[in-house]
Amino acid sequence: QAFISAVVTLNCFYSILFFYSTDVLSASDNHTAHACDGETLSIRCPTRTSVAVVSAFYGRRVPSPYLCPQANPNITEENTDCTSTTAIQKVMSECQDRRECQIPVVSPVFGQDPCPETSKYIIVSYKCKHRSETEITHFSHLVGRF
């Protein structure tokens, strides 16, 4: 009976170790999210992790047949050298250090429209970083006050 108990305990230990090791591996990977004009960009990290923004682009670099087709079929020329300079700041302010975030993908959200006649998209590269024990403890103290 002691042997069976030891095997069960060992199996539980390895199951927990496997669960946390796969969680760590997936959390440290780079992730990419994208959305077209008129859609909502959604980013979500697993429990006990938060978003760490690596890069953000809003505009157009790729012709529309390949990514986010042009909404207006009457426009025959599009600007594929179109970049918002405020995309990274906006994504950082909405998503950095949060578990999840949503950003409406419309030009006014990103400031002045860099190319008004061109449909645009956002692409965000991010990691899901593990929250430190200090952050978790601090957060639990804050929650306890309300």
Domain positions in the chain are: 30-144
Q: What is the pLDDT of residues 42-78, one digit of tens each?
A: 999 999 999 999 999 999 998 877 788 876 667 667 7
* Torsion sign over Cα 82, 111, 124, 104: negative
Write down the pLDDT at residue 64.
73
Q: Quote the CA–CA distance of 138 and 97 in Å, as a whole number.
A: 14
> How far apart (Å, rounded) are the C-alpha atoms in residues 104 and 98?
17
What's residue 79's pLDDT? 83
> pLDDT-based confidence at 38, cuts 50/70/90?
very high
What number does CATH give the domain 30-144?
A: 2.60.120.740
